[in-house]
Each structure stands twice: as structure tokens, then as C-alpha cells.
Amino acid sequence: MEDTDNQVLLESVNGKGIITLNRPKALNALNLTMVRQITPALQEWGRSQKMVIIKGKGGKAFCAGGDIREVTESAKAGGTLHQEFFREEYILNNIIGSLRIPYIALIDGITMGGGVGLSVHGRYRVATEKTVFAMPETAIGLFPDVGGSYFLPRLEGELGLYLALTGYRLVGSDVHQAGIATHICSKELLDFLEQDLIGLGENECNLEGIEKVLSHYGEKCPEAKKPFTLANNMQAINRLFSGSTIEDIIQDLEKDNSDWAKSQLATLRKMSPTSLKNTVKLLRKCRRLPLSECLTFEYRMSQRCCETHDFIEGVRALLVDKDKNPKWNPARIEDVSDSYSDTFFCSSKK
């Protein structure tokens, strides 16, 4: 049995609040207990501390995502966990996005799904050469949530939509080059960076002082000098993922007929057709909305996903039975009607 009291470690050192996600065997996957420990701490620290640092325990992951197996089991059984978890997780995401003091996420290792929500809305995100970022939700019948509808459309060109639809993994310096991390640091020096931040004095503990520390470690990081691995594909991404609907994007990829386009089509055909259609609609709808409004849309969609087939089926196929053979319904993009997709964006089920 897990010790639920110690899944998050909270401490205050030299006027700095430090959050440590402490489920290393579960890759620090986020659950409702953890959300309920972090939220009040942030609310109090926003008034009493000079900054917040959040990190993951174990060296393999910052946070690999939300603990969604429990969520789908609740939905199937008619429970309320799926309502509580998404609602309270998104409230936490919004608190992070509106925090008045600097919030610094040390995103070493796997940073996906719920882990992205715990980091990307803060002022600073520090990646290492071991950081692995992805939003793989279309593969499980969900959508890029935890504020994905806010930050993804704000990346360069159509990069955010590309990442959202394909679940493409960014590694190391790519996370920084893409604009998801604000800084980068060698993994072996990350503890020293943290201690330098904690050691900042009263007159240094401001944005200028923090950025001086972060930039110092970035300059010493060999990973920072690597080129962006998607640089040669950005022109194609911007051209072929610019459609206003998933049908347009599929059509453009088919017309292009390059090996790269064929590879993207093969990836998309593995994903939930409903998720793909909803994801394009969501990111197009939210590209100019504030975070709070984006999260409102996402909560409506999360609850609808828990009422319908694909999310529960995707979790079964990839995380429970692990046969990696989900049976999507509808099975084809052309069978996902506009009226069905629209129900995911309504405040009440129609």
C-alpha cells in the first residue's frame, strides 16, 4: 500500500517553497491525493514565500501524467472520482498559471500529460538532456488537456497542433527549442542549480536574480547547443497541419504523398478518430482565450470523454490489458459527425 501522506513532500527553505512529487515507482503520476496536497500549499505560499520550486523524485520522471486508470474505473462504475480529479486538477493548473511569485519546475525525465500541467503554466521550466515531453492523449481517446488547449496553440506555427495530434516526443534540448522549457541545465548540475536558487538572498530573489542563475547553468549545458530535431520538418508541419479540421489535415497529408507525410498519416490512423477531430476543434477554438476559459472547455470535454467509449477503451488497450489494439467507435474519421463532436463542447450532455 502506498503511503498517501508522503506522495508529495512540502517544505519551506529560506523563504522558498519546495514541492517534491514522491511516487517514483509510479513515475510520479499525479492523483487526486497529490492534487489536494499541492493546491492549498500553493495558495498559502503565494502569500508567504518568495518562489516555488517543484521537482520529481527518483531521477526517471518529473511526472509521467495523471493516474487515469483509477479515473476510468470510477467512470465505468458510476463513481465521482473522474469528476473530482479533472475539476481539481484543472483548478490547480489555473492556480499555477496565475501565481504571483516565481514558479520554477525542474522537468528532468519524463514529463507528460498531468506533469505538463504541473509545469508549463509556471514562469520557468528547466529541462535537462533527459527530459522527455509528450502530450499522448489522442492515443488513449482523450485530448491534450491540463491547459494544452492554451499553451499548444501558442507554440511556433502549427507545432502545437502537430504535437497534440501525433503525440510526438520531444527530448532534451528539443523541449527548450520548442518553447516548452524556458531554460536547460545538465542533469548532473540540476541539484546545484536548485541550491543556488534556494540560496538567493532577499535582494537577489527577484526575476533578475532567478534568471541570472538559470542562464548561468544554461550556458554550461552542452545539450543547449544541439539543433532542433524538427527544424527540417517545420515548413511541412506549418503547411500540412494548417487545416481548420482534421479532415482538411488528412486531405493535405494524402495529397502531399511524401514519405514524411505518409509516416504522419500512419501515426494518425492509430489514434482515436473522435479525439483527433475534437483536438483540432479545441485548439483552434482556444488559441486566443485565457487559461481559465480553456480549462472550462477542457473540463466539459473530460466529463464527456468519461461518458463515451473511446477514453475507457484507450486506457484499457494501452494501460490495463496492454494489447495496444484499441477498438475505436466510431472507427473512422469520416464517421465522426460534427454533431457528435459538438456534444463534447457543451456544458451539459445532449
Domain borders along the chain are 4-225, 233-345
SS3 103: strand
What is residue 347's DSSP assignment?
S
Residue 65 annotated to the active site: no
The residue written with cell numbers 542562464 in the block is 215
Q: How far is CA 345 from CA 281, 296, 339, in A?
A: 9, 10, 10
Superfamily of the domain at 4-225: 2-enoyl-CoA Hydratase; Chain A, domain 1 (3.90.226.10)
Catalytic residue among 56, 65, 66, 160: 66
Q: Is 179 left (phi over 0), alpha (psi -120 to 50) or beta?
A: left
Rounded to the nearest integer, the mean pLDDT of the chain is 95
Single out the residue of 34, 23, 31, 55 nearest to residue 187, CA to CA. 55
Residue 252 annotated to the active site: no
Q: Between β-strands 103-107 and 124-127, what pairing exists: parallel, antiparallel or unpaired?
A: parallel
- pLDDT of 82-120, one tens digit each? 999 999 999 999 999 999 999 999 999 999 999 999 999
Single out the residue of 121, 124, 164 nearest to residue 143, CA to CA. 164
Catalytic residue among 114, 141, 148, 172: 114
Confidence of residue 4 (pLDDT cuts 50, 70, 90): low
The residue written with cell numbers 517553497 in the block is 17
Verify cis geometry, omega within 30 degrees of 0, for the bond prior to 330.
yes
Mean pLDDT, rounded, for 52-73:
95
Residue 179 annotated to the active site: no
Q: Which residues pair with 13 in a beta bridge?
A: 16
Residue 350 has pLDDT above 50, yes or no: no
Contacts of 196 (CB under 8 A, 6+ apart): 213, 216, 217
Confidence of residue 344 (pLDDT cuts 50, 70, 90): very high
- pLDDT of 236-277, one tens digit each? 999 999 999 999 999 999 999 899 999 999 999 999 999 999
Contacts of 88 (CB under 8 A, 6+ apart): 32, 35, 36, 39
- pLDDT of 16-30, one tens digit each? 999 999 999 999 999
pLDDT at 303: 95
Confidence of residue 346 (pLDDT cuts 50, 70, 90): confident
The residue written with cell numbers 493546491 in the block is 39
Residue 17 annotated to the active site: no
Other beta carbons within 10 Å of 225: 8
Residue 45 has pLDDT above 90, yes or no: yes
Catalytic residue among 129, 145, 194, 298: 145
Catalytic residue among 108, 129, 137, 158: 137
**C-alpha span between 296 and 138 (Å, rounded):** 19
Number of H helices, E strands in the chain: 16, 10
**C-alpha span between 252 and 247 (Å, rounded):** 9
pTM: 0.95
**C-alpha span between 350 and 336 (Å, rounded):** 16
What is residue 66's DSSP assignment?
B
SS3 124: strand
SS3 157: coil
Contacts of 243 (CB under 8 A, 6+ apart): 249, 251, 252, 280
- The one-letter amino acid code at 123 reads R
